Protein backbone atom coordinates (compact mmCIF):
# COMPACT_ATOMS: atom_id res chain seq x y z
CA UNK A 1 0.00 0.00 0.00
CA UNK A 2 1.44 3.39 -0.99
CA UNK A 3 1.76 6.09 1.63
CA UNK A 4 0.49 9.61 1.29
CA UNK A 5 3.33 12.15 1.43
CA UNK A 6 3.71 13.58 4.94
CA UNK A 7 3.73 17.34 5.38
CA UNK A 8 5.07 17.70 8.92
CA UNK A 9 7.22 14.58 9.26
CA UNK A 10 10.26 13.42 7.33
CA UNK A 11 10.79 9.66 7.17
CA UNK A 12 14.08 7.89 6.53
CA UNK A 13 14.46 4.12 6.72
CA UNK A 14 17.81 2.42 7.14
CA UNK A 15 17.36 -1.33 7.50
CA UNK A 16 15.25 -2.02 10.58
CA UNK A 17 15.46 1.56 11.89
CA UNK A 18 13.10 4.35 10.85
CA UNK A 19 13.93 7.96 11.67
CA UNK A 20 10.96 10.31 12.02
CA UNK A 21 11.90 13.99 12.02
CA UNK A 22 9.32 16.57 13.02
CA UNK A 23 9.66 19.20 10.33
CA UNK A 24 8.04 22.50 11.27
CA UNK A 25 11.22 24.55 11.78
CA UNK A 26 9.50 27.94 11.65
CA UNK A 27 7.35 26.82 14.62
CA UNK A 28 10.11 25.10 16.61
CA UNK A 29 8.29 21.90 15.59
CA UNK A 30 5.21 22.87 17.59
CA UNK A 31 2.40 20.35 17.61
CA UNK A 32 -0.68 20.89 15.46
CA UNK A 33 -3.47 18.58 14.33
CA UNK A 34 -1.63 17.71 11.11
CA UNK A 35 1.47 16.56 12.98
CA UNK A 36 -0.64 14.54 15.41
CA UNK A 37 -2.48 12.91 12.52
CA UNK A 38 0.73 11.99 10.74
CA UNK A 39 2.24 10.51 13.91
CA UNK A 40 -0.94 8.52 14.44
CA UNK A 41 -0.92 7.28 10.84
CA UNK A 42 2.72 6.18 10.99
CA UNK A 43 2.41 4.28 14.27
CA UNK A 44 -0.91 2.73 13.22
CA UNK A 45 0.75 1.13 10.19
CA UNK A 46 4.56 1.25 10.37
CA UNK A 47 6.51 0.35 7.24
CA UNK A 48 7.19 -3.34 6.85
CA UNK A 49 10.52 -4.43 8.28
CA UNK A 50 10.89 -1.50 10.70
CA UNK A 51 11.77 -2.70 14.20
CA UNK A 52 12.76 0.54 15.98
CA UNK A 53 11.90 4.21 15.50
CA UNK A 54 14.03 7.27 16.20
CA UNK A 55 11.96 10.40 16.83
CA UNK A 56 13.66 13.78 16.58
CA UNK A 57 13.20 17.39 15.50
CA UNK A 58 14.84 19.83 13.14
CA UNK A 59 16.53 23.24 13.24
CA UNK A 60 17.65 22.94 16.86
CA UNK A 61 14.40 21.94 18.53
CA UNK A 62 12.61 18.72 19.40
CA UNK A 63 9.06 20.03 19.95
CA UNK A 64 7.91 23.27 21.57
CA UNK A 65 4.43 22.04 22.46
CA UNK A 66 1.02 23.05 21.17
CA UNK A 67 1.05 25.50 18.28
CA UNK A 68 -0.93 28.31 19.91
CA UNK A 69 -1.12 30.21 16.61
CA UNK A 70 -3.44 27.46 15.37
CA UNK A 71 -5.39 27.21 18.60
CA UNK A 72 -9.10 26.67 18.07
CA UNK A 73 -11.57 27.93 20.67
CA UNK A 74 -13.56 24.91 21.88
CA UNK A 75 -16.32 24.40 24.42
CA UNK A 76 -15.82 21.98 27.32
CA UNK A 77 -16.94 18.95 25.32
CA UNK A 78 -14.76 19.88 22.36
CA UNK A 79 -11.75 20.38 24.62
CA UNK A 80 -12.38 17.03 26.31
CA UNK A 81 -12.55 15.23 22.98
CA UNK A 82 -9.45 17.01 21.66
CA UNK A 83 -7.48 16.05 24.77
CA UNK A 84 -8.62 12.45 24.43
CA UNK A 85 -7.46 12.54 20.83
CA UNK A 86 -3.97 13.54 22.02
CA UNK A 87 -4.09 10.69 24.53
CA UNK A 88 -4.92 8.26 21.75
CA UNK A 89 -1.91 9.34 19.67
CA UNK A 90 0.47 9.22 22.65
CA UNK A 91 -0.83 5.77 23.56
CA UNK A 92 -0.29 4.67 19.95
CA UNK A 93 3.36 5.80 20.17
CA UNK A 94 3.92 4.10 23.52
CA UNK A 95 2.11 0.87 22.71
CA UNK A 96 2.45 0.35 18.97
CA UNK A 97 4.94 -2.38 19.82
CA UNK A 98 7.87 -0.55 18.24
CA UNK A 99 10.54 0.75 20.61
CA UNK A 100 10.90 4.52 20.12
CA UNK A 101 14.13 6.43 20.84
CA UNK A 102 13.92 10.22 21.21
CA UNK A 103 16.91 12.33 20.16
CA UNK A 104 16.21 15.66 21.85
CA UNK A 105 17.65 19.15 21.70
CA UNK A 106 16.29 22.64 22.25
CA UNK A 107 12.63 22.93 23.23
CA UNK A 108 11.01 19.91 24.86
CA UNK A 109 8.15 21.96 26.20
CA UNK A 110 4.51 21.28 27.06
CA UNK A 111 3.15 18.87 24.47
CA UNK A 112 6.74 18.20 23.37
CA UNK A 113 7.49 16.79 26.83
CA UNK A 114 4.25 14.79 26.72
CA UNK A 115 5.39 13.38 23.38
CA UNK A 116 8.90 12.59 24.65
CA UNK A 117 7.62 10.74 27.71
CA UNK A 118 5.48 8.51 25.46
CA UNK A 119 8.74 7.20 23.97
CA UNK A 120 10.90 4.51 25.53
CA UNK A 121 14.49 5.78 25.38
CA UNK A 122 15.21 9.51 25.72
CA UNK A 123 18.52 11.21 24.88
CA UNK A 124 19.12 14.89 25.63
CA UNK A 125 21.73 17.34 24.41
CA UNK A 126 22.87 20.33 26.56
CA UNK A 127 20.49 22.70 24.74
CA UNK A 128 17.41 20.85 25.97
CA UNK A 129 14.79 22.75 27.94
CA UNK A 130 12.19 20.63 29.73
CA UNK A 131 9.20 22.72 30.77
CA UNK A 132 5.44 22.54 31.40
CA UNK A 133 4.34 26.19 31.05
CA UNK A 134 0.58 25.55 30.84
CA UNK A 135 -0.09 26.89 34.33
CA UNK A 136 1.50 30.20 33.36
CA UNK A 137 -0.99 30.46 30.49
CA UNK A 138 -4.09 29.80 32.56
CA UNK A 139 -4.60 26.27 31.29
CA UNK A 140 -3.79 22.69 32.27
CA UNK A 141 -1.92 19.91 30.50
CA UNK A 142 -4.07 17.80 28.19
CA UNK A 143 -1.76 15.45 26.31
CA UNK A 144 -0.93 12.99 29.06
CA UNK A 145 1.61 14.81 31.25
CA UNK A 146 -0.44 14.25 34.41
CA UNK A 147 0.26 10.54 34.04
CA UNK A 148 3.50 10.16 32.12
CA UNK A 149 5.49 13.11 33.47
CA UNK A 150 3.80 12.77 36.86
CA UNK A 151 4.96 9.20 37.25
CA UNK A 152 8.52 10.16 36.43
CA UNK A 153 8.73 13.21 38.68
CA UNK A 154 6.09 12.42 41.29
CA UNK A 155 3.11 14.66 41.94
CA UNK A 156 4.92 16.94 44.40
CA UNK A 157 7.72 17.92 42.01
CA UNK A 158 5.38 18.22 39.03
CA UNK A 159 3.10 20.58 40.97
CA UNK A 160 6.06 22.83 41.69
CA UNK A 161 7.22 22.62 38.07
CA UNK A 162 3.81 23.69 36.77
CA UNK A 163 3.13 26.35 39.39
CA UNK A 164 6.42 28.13 38.79
CA UNK A 165 7.03 27.37 35.10
CA UNK A 166 10.36 25.89 36.14
CA UNK A 167 12.77 24.76 33.41
CA UNK A 168 15.06 21.76 33.67
CA UNK A 169 18.17 21.25 31.58
CA UNK A 170 19.57 17.96 30.30
CA UNK A 171 21.64 17.15 33.39
CA UNK A 172 18.73 17.91 35.71
CA UNK A 173 16.45 15.90 33.43
CA UNK A 174 18.85 12.96 33.62
CA UNK A 175 18.84 13.10 37.41
CA UNK A 176 15.05 13.28 37.53
CA UNK A 177 14.37 10.68 34.84
CA UNK A 178 13.04 12.95 32.11
CA UNK A 179 15.85 11.58 29.94
CA UNK A 180 17.95 8.44 30.16
CA UNK A 181 21.12 9.80 28.54
CA UNK A 182 22.74 13.24 28.59
CA UNK A 183 25.20 13.79 25.72
CA UNK A 184 27.25 16.57 24.18
CA UNK A 185 26.12 19.00 21.47
CA UNK A 186 25.24 17.23 18.23
CA UNK A 187 25.62 13.76 19.75
CA UNK A 188 21.98 12.77 20.35
CA UNK A 189 21.18 11.41 16.91
CA UNK A 190 24.39 9.36 16.77
CA UNK A 191 23.68 7.70 20.11
CA UNK A 192 20.04 7.24 19.09
CA UNK A 193 21.13 5.30 16.00
CA UNK A 194 23.57 3.20 18.02
CA UNK A 195 20.92 2.31 20.59
CA UNK A 196 18.23 1.76 17.96
CA UNK A 197 20.43 -0.72 16.11
CA UNK A 198 21.16 -2.52 19.38
CA UNK A 199 17.44 -2.70 20.24
CA UNK A 200 16.62 -3.90 16.70
CA UNK A 201 18.85 -6.93 17.28
CA UNK A 202 16.64 -8.06 20.18
CA UNK A 203 13.87 -10.57 19.57
CA UNK A 204 10.80 -8.71 18.35
CA UNK A 205 8.48 -10.55 20.73
CA UNK A 206 10.51 -9.71 23.82
CA UNK A 207 10.68 -6.04 22.77
CA UNK A 208 6.91 -6.05 22.30
CA UNK A 209 6.27 -7.68 25.66
CA UNK A 210 8.62 -5.33 27.52
CA UNK A 211 6.86 -2.30 26.04
CA UNK A 212 3.37 -3.55 26.83
CA UNK A 213 3.86 -5.40 30.10
CA UNK A 214 6.02 -3.18 32.25
CA UNK A 215 3.93 -0.01 31.93
CA UNK A 216 0.80 -1.99 32.77
CA UNK A 217 2.38 -3.93 35.64
CA UNK A 218 3.10 -0.54 37.22
CA UNK A 219 -0.67 -0.07 37.51
CA UNK A 220 -1.30 -3.49 39.03
CA UNK A 221 -1.29 -4.87 42.53
CA UNK A 222 1.77 -6.88 43.52
CA UNK A 223 -0.06 -10.19 43.06
CA UNK A 224 -1.49 -9.23 39.66
CA UNK A 225 1.89 -7.91 38.52
CA UNK A 226 3.67 -11.11 39.48
CA UNK A 227 1.08 -13.24 37.69
CA UNK A 228 1.37 -11.07 34.58
CA UNK A 229 5.15 -11.45 34.73
CA UNK A 230 4.74 -15.23 34.73
CA UNK A 231 2.46 -15.06 31.69
CA UNK A 232 5.02 -12.90 29.85
CA UNK A 233 7.81 -15.29 30.80
CA UNK A 234 5.78 -18.25 29.53
CA UNK A 235 5.04 -16.48 26.24
CA UNK A 236 8.61 -15.41 25.50
CA UNK A 237 10.56 -18.36 26.91
CA UNK A 238 8.65 -20.87 24.78
CA UNK A 239 9.03 -18.91 21.54
CA UNK A 240 11.27 -19.83 18.58
CA UNK A 241 13.37 -16.77 19.39
CA UNK A 242 14.06 -18.11 22.88
CA UNK A 243 15.23 -21.38 21.36
CA UNK A 244 17.51 -19.46 19.01
CA UNK A 245 18.82 -17.35 21.89
CA UNK A 246 19.76 -20.41 23.94
CA UNK A 247 21.30 -22.17 20.94
CA UNK A 248 23.36 -19.08 20.08
CA UNK A 249 24.58 -18.83 23.67
CA UNK A 250 25.71 -22.45 23.70
CA UNK A 251 27.39 -22.04 20.31
CA UNK A 252 29.06 -18.79 21.43
CA UNK A 253 27.62 -16.67 18.62
CA UNK A 254 25.20 -13.80 18.24
CA UNK A 255 21.56 -14.87 17.94
CA UNK A 256 19.74 -14.38 14.66
CA UNK A 257 16.19 -13.56 15.64
CA UNK A 258 13.25 -13.43 13.26
- Taking alpha carbons only, the member of 31, 16, 3, 108 closest to residue 62 is 108
Largest CA distance in the chain: 64
For the sheet containing 121-124, what is the strand order?
9-14, 17-22, 52-56, 100-104, 121-124, 181-182
Contacts of 36 (CB under 8 A, 6+ apart): 85, 86, 89
Instruction: Supply the residues annotated as catalytic.
Output: 114, 134
- Among 104, 112, 114, 12, smallest CA distance to 60 is for 104
Q: Could you tell me the end-to-end alpha-carbon distance of the chain, in angstroms, rounded to an integer?
A: 23
DSSP assignment of 211-246 equals HHHHHHHTTS-HHHHHHHHHHHHHHHHTSHHHHHHH
The DSSP symbol for 29 reads T
In this structure, what DSSP letter does residue 63 have? Answer: B
Amino acid sequence: MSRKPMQTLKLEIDGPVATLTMNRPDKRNAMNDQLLTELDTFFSQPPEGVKVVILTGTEGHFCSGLDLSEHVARDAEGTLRHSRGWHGVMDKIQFSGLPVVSAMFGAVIGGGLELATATHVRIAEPSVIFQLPEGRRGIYVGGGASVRVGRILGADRMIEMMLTGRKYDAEEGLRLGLCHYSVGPGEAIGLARELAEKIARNAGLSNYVMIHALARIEDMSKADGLFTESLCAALTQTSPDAQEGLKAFLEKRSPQFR
